[in-house]
Structure 1
Amino acid sequence: MSPAPGYATDFAERYDDWFTPPPQTTDATVTLLAKLAADAPDGPLLELGIGTGRVALPLAARGYEVHGIDAAKTMLDRLRAKTGGERINVSTGDFAEVDHDGNFAVIYVANGTFSELPTQEAQLRCFARAGQRLLPGGLFVLDAHVPEALATDCLTGAQPVESASGAPVLRTRRIHPATQRYVSDYLVLDHGLFQHIKVTFRYASPGELDLMAASAGLRLRERFGGWSGAPFSDRSSYHVSVYELPASA
């Protein structure tokens, strides 16, 4: 099943204000994806969980043909209303199914969104469907927490989160190892009232993700310690994994 649109539907009008990462994070994400696309076959890009277009719009502005899928129509409405939004071909639906016409040079999912798929079955299905939609030599790119670092982070209590609007945002995380899940609770002070947003994730280790990829006929091409392109190491708390469909597939 797809992640429940919940917070994305209820707070679509404020999503960009509260949950947009700092500009340097978006710039790094777009730059790395553009670099990867340059080494992939010629073809369009597809974003899973495209949301309001934080990553897709700057990629399209660089001249890439970008498509997207999202479960929340309200988020897609926000994307279409933005400058350049009309250039992006979007579908409303379950991104685990990668149900979008065409074949793609790069399929990517950013900002931890892959972990919003709630079960191993859904995550496996996403890998399998992505493999079927990739051009030979194409890439499937996702980012995720390193579980050991995530567990440590969950012990730190409430943490401030930088928001685009400057609204005070606090986040706490609770981890549930028995089910490989963690829950992020956000408190946003908005016009004198607190808004509570709860998001549940299903985490997976890099090794488990590699097995999912292998089951879909994909192989790990490289893994970075973040969208900056830094090397992945024992100190990395996050990773960006790049899987490739062999050209002979």
Structure 2
Amino acid sequence: MASGFDPSEYGRHIAEVYDELHADLSPEAALSVIAGYAAGGAVLELGIGTGRIALPLAAKGLDVEGIEGSPEMVAQLRRKPGGEALRVEVGDFSTTTMDRRYAVVVLAYNTINALPSQDAQVQTFRNAAAHLDPSGVFLVENWVPDVAGFHHGRAVRAHEVAERHVIVEVAELRPAEQRISATRLAFTADGVRLLPVDHRYVWPAELDLMARLAGLHLEERWQDWERRPFTDQSTTYVAVYRRDD
């Protein structure tokens, strides 16, 4: 782990507005894929957050549990219908363990990049593999790094533009460390909120190697949860990893 890494920091800044900022992000396609792989079995979500994916999965009758670094995000989850019933362990999902195995382990919405180092990301794959049933799968949703968008190591970009909010990101690139340090400015009807974000970005093939180190292999990769083909033009992807044994 990187010195001083705090897995709860991001949630402290964004928990109160997370659901509002991501209200336009439909989970339906992800729910269909996850439920299909689970086939009635249990699901573990790493970085369960406010329950955007976990709660509707549980409402479908699946046994869903989670690990989350931010107590503030978990508090938001608990306030929602069904939130009190979910087992959630607060801790670093690269090392925190549960006492069972699952048909599916999920790491959604680019959360792998929130870890501070390659070692922590590799450890997350190992932790996910240790929690899988013999026939289970590890699903990872991520974005393809776009370092060409930086000029002299810096970039300003519209991260989200919606009817009720706009998020502008001011970022600095450190390619030697594969790190992006950024502050997102969230403009809503209630004013402006500063949301610091620190990413250790990873390439698709790098994740595949992490999987191999954890005893997993890539089974499929799509552009998104709709299972559209992953191509040279894709900016996001969903990868399906399965145990080797």
When normalised by structure 2's length, the TM-score is: 0.89
Please report how far the alpha carbon of residue 7 of structure 1 lies from its aligned counterpart in structure 2 after TM superposition.
3.2
The one-letter amino acid of 1:65's match is: D
Matched, 1:5 2:8: yes
Q: Which runs of 5+ in 2 are unaligned?
A: none
SS in structure 2 of the partner of residue 128 of structure 1: helix
1:55 alignment partner AA: I
Offset of residue 157 of structure 1: 3.0
Please give the alpha-carbon distance, in whole angstroms, between the structure 1 residues aligned to 2:191 and 2:144. 34
Which residue of the partner structure matches residue 188 of structure 1?
186
Match of 1:36 in 2: 37
Task: Choose the corresponding residue for 2:24, options 22, 25, 37.
Answer: 22
SS in 2 for 1:227: coil
Aligned length: 239
Alignment partner of 1:58 out of 56, 59, 62 = 56
Letter in 2 for 1:32: V
Q: Does the aligned pair in 1 maintain the 2:37–2:103 contact within 8 Å? A: no
Name the CA distance, whole Å, in 1 between partners of 2:100 and 2:196. 34
Question: What CA distance in whole angstroms lies between the structure 2 residues aligned with 1:199 and 1:136?
Answer: 35
The one-character-per-residue Cα deviations of 1:158-204 (angstroms, maximum 9, x if unpaired) are 215145x8133222343321111123321123556422111011111
Q: 1:23 to 1:160 in 2, by over 3 A?
A: closer
Q: What is the aligned partner in structure 1 of residue 147 from structure 2?
A: 151
Calculate the aligned-residue CA RMSD, in Å: 2.0
Letter in 1 for 2:148: T
Of stretches 237-246 and 173-182 in structure 1, the one that deviates more from structure 2 is 173-182
Deviates more, 1:211-220 or 1:7-16: 7-16
Match of 1:95, SS? coil
Q: Which amino acid aligns with 1:14?
A: V
The whole-number CA distance in structure 2 between the counterparts of 1:63 and 1:171 is: 38
Equivalent residue for 1:132, pick from 130, 133, 141 = 130
One-letter identity of the residue aligned with 2:225: W
Compute the displacement of 1:3 (Å). 5.3
- Note the 1:91-240 alignment, pairs <5 A: 91-147=89-145, 150-154=146-150, 157-159=156-158, 161-162=160-161, 166-190=164-188, 193-240=191-238
Which moves more between the two structures, 64-73 or 169-178?
169-178
C-alpha distance in structure 2 between counterparts of 1:93 and 1:160, whole Å: 28
Q: Secondary structure at the match of 1:242?
A: strand
Unaligned runs of 5+ in 1: none
For residues 27-71 of structure 1, what are the alpha-carbon distances to aligned partners after superposition, in whole Å with 9 as ceiling and x for unaligned?
222222222323xxx531000010100011111111111000101
Cα distance between partner residues in 2 of 1:122 and 1:141: 17
Higher percent of residues as helix: 1
> Residues 103, 157 of structure 1: CA spacing in aligned structure 2 closer, same or farther, 3 A cutoff?
same
Taking only the aligned residue pairs, the percentage that are identical comes to: 37
